Amino acid sequence: MKRMFLAIIGLTMMFDLSAQKKVLTMEEAVIGYHLYPRSKYFQWQGDKNQLTYLDREGLMSESVDKGEKKVLLTVAELNKILGTELKGYPNIEWLDANTLVISRQGSIYHIDVDKKQLKQTFTFPKGAANETYSKAANAYAYTIDNNLYYQDERGNSYTVTTDQDKNIVNGQVVSRNEFGIKGGIFWSPDGKKLGFYRKDESQVTNFPLLDINTRTGELKEIKYPMAGMKSELVSFGVYDIASGKTTFLDVNDFGREQYMPGVTWSPESDLVYIQVLNRGQDHMRLNSYDASTGKRVATLFEEKSKTYVEPQSALVFMPNNSKQFIYSTNNRDGYMNLYLHDVTGKLIKRLTDVDADVEFVAVDRAGKYVYYLSSEVSPVEKQLFRVDVKSGKKNRLTAEEGWHNITMSGDCAYFIDNYSSIKIPRNVDLTANTGKVVRRLQEVENPNKDYNYGEITLGSIKADDGSDLYYRLIKPMDFDPNKKYPVIHYVYGGPHSQLVTNTWNASLRMWEMYMAQHGYVVFVIDNHGTPNRGKAFEEVIHRQCGQVEMKDQVKGIEWLKSFPWVDAERIGIHGWSYGGFMTISLITNYPEIYKVAVAGGPVIDWKWYEVMYGERYMDTPQENPEGYAKTSLIAKAKDLKGKLLICQGAVDPVVVWEQSLSFIRECIKNNVQVDYFPYPCAEHNVMGRDRIHLMQKVTNYFEDYLK
């Protein structure tokens, strides 16, 4: 009888548990991709007003007017065409309305969708990378090691550069991906010329990274130009396909140590436009160059700043007028806006006359409307607008609050609106260019509905200067206002990173919710220096990184401490990279606030960071010795009072190991206890399943010393 009674109790408990909502596991918190709203990848079928996407049947097509669906290519047909069995969905793109492109295992396949047959295959040699296509030439340029090649439509490969010196790198990213630079190969519109970056790193110092995967270990050296030291020398070559000769542009505005972002070919393929920026990053010239002779044709205009000029985008030529182009800058009216110029440099008009940062999306073929995303409704939202180029009249095209991602059709008659908000997991709408929703393509279900989540709040407080600072706040699971809870303060705080947005769950990282489920209040706030707030809000950090940011972060914590359910004696902080710098800055400068900290891949002293980013925000150590001294954390090591754990990727090529090891050395000198955990094979971010170990390490540290 007793056993039966216990069995009934156990069965009842089992049913009770099954009815309860779930709590995240650490694995789910780190790599639980199923917990994020995921939509179909809708694309336009080239310049055709036809939607395409992949599903279980294969490649699908959907008409915009009636929503009629059909299968363009089944999975079996794709497998037959490629001569292999696809595992998972491949990455696809459209060259035109009938040509599908799939890249797989060293080859790129062009598929005729109507005929359901292989149109062309480009197979590249081992080690090929940076494959870049020219439709006009029907050819791909690519790199192997440090040299540049191209393959024509017949499959013949040609050598463009033959540099033996490994310090000379052709056709690849320069300036460490700063200034919006994402590649190093630039085909001319007519396909007859091939532009490319050439990078000379012979004067750049090496930094050794330790590879422990060999029997005795091996040092692998990377080129790492530190602030105030010698930098790479960038030039720009133009290779003529017919003659096989290369001409280098005469770009010599500011000496050899200068930057060349915003590379743009003229529509006629005779000129190359480059936004030439001095090493000090406070003076930019927009120049045009003759692509045949390399001579500078003209300087269209210049931009200067007392802080920095930061070009991020190439020019966009008007489709109906090749003598006019759209230029983006935040250096004229205080916000990132769009301006219409002619090819002499004359300003025709400011297209987006708004006190908010905007982002170019498209211009229609007639050149009548320019479409752009704007933060003018709210800095934590992105809304689509269009402006009439002639009249200047603008219209808002997206009505729902939140963060909108837009894909315009080729003729700009329609757009795919993929958006979310704190209320909406994800919706995908087909919308006419007037803003009228044609129909909903997909409504993504809440992927977290079976989990017990703490309440998420998106809000703002006032900074000392009266500006708004936006935060997200997560209360503990099963929150009781009569209890006191410890706090996890997560921070990044650096330029070009906005953590708080009006998106699903306010853009939280799932580990934050994991901590809320384990009894913590989790708080995140964006400080001065972060984007979508205008130039003045961003550049206030110039020459003093971390100082204003700390004040803003502490302002947020002081506000949080006003709530009776916050335990002011148990506040911890965590951040990575710039966030690691902020974490150590805050625990050493405000020991009365922070009891425990975990810093990952932290910048310790800006003199050890790279030239392009470091000198933009701090100038050089020679120009700003007081700023470097004030922001350095070496001098702060002796002030560490709380518990600090530093985690570091041992082969980090971004924030090199010298940074955190130097801080540890200073702690030892001052007999200050600190905890340290290296990840021997990790780069700047600990990725994959290793990250589960990392976040468990971070969690354990707070559990041990903050709970």
**Dist CA 693 CA 681 (whole Å):** 13
Instruction: Give Cβ neighbours of residue 422 (< 8 Å, ≥ 6 apart).
Output: 402, 456, 458, 502, 503, 504, 505, 506
CA distances from 196 to 135, 150, 688 (A): 17, 12, 34
**Dist CA 129 CA 161 (whole Å):** 15
**Dist CA 431 CA 504 (whole Å):** 21
**Dist CA 269 CA 254 (whole Å):** 26
The number of residues making up the chain comes to 707
Q: Coil, helix or strand for 440? A: strand
CA distances from 164 to 169, 205, 207, 508 (A): 10, 19, 21, 48
State the Rg of the chain over Cα.
27
Interhelix angle 510-517/690-705, rounded to 10 degrees, is 40
Element spanning 472, H or E: strand 468-474
Which alpha helices (DSSP H) does 418-569 contain, by range?
A: 510-517, 535-539, 547-560
Span between the terminal Cα atoms of the chain, in Å: 43
Catalytic residue among 235, 288, 328, 577: 577
Beta bridge partners of 60: 53, 71
Instruction: Give Cβ neighbours of residue 200 (< 8 Å, ≥ 6 apart).
Output: 167, 168, 232, 233, 234, 235
With CA atoms as reference, report the closest residue to 272 among 289, 287, 257, 255: 289
**Dist CA 553 CA 530 (whole Å):** 12
What six digits make up the tokens of 624?
A: 């700003």
Catalytic annotation on 652?
yes
Instruction: Give Cβ neighbours of residue 479 (< 8 Å, ≥ 6 apart).
Output: 454, 455, 565
What six digits make up the tokens of 60?
A: 């699908």
Instruction: Give Cβ neighbours of residue 607 (< 8 Å, ≥ 6 apart).
Output: 226, 227, 228, 614, 621, 628, 632
Strands (E), 538-685: 566-576, 596-600, 643-649, 675-679
What is the 3-state secondary structure of 73-86? EEHHHHHHHHCCCC
Contact 104, 84 (CB under 8 A): yes
CB-count burial class (<10 Å; 0-12, 13-18, 19+) for 612: buried
Catalytic residue among 134, 364, 652, 660: 652
Beta bridge partners of 529: none
Catalytic annotation on 353?
no
93 CB neighbour count, 10 Å cutoff = 12
Catalytic annotation on 388?
no
With CA atoms as reference, report the closest residue to 584 among 600, 563, 608: 600
**Dist CA 622 CA 227 (whole Å):** 9
**Dist CA 678 CA 8 (whole Å):** 50
**Dist CA 666 CA 676 (whole Å):** 13
Catalytic residue among 342, 684, 690, 693: 684
Q: Which residues are catalytic?
A: 577, 652, 684
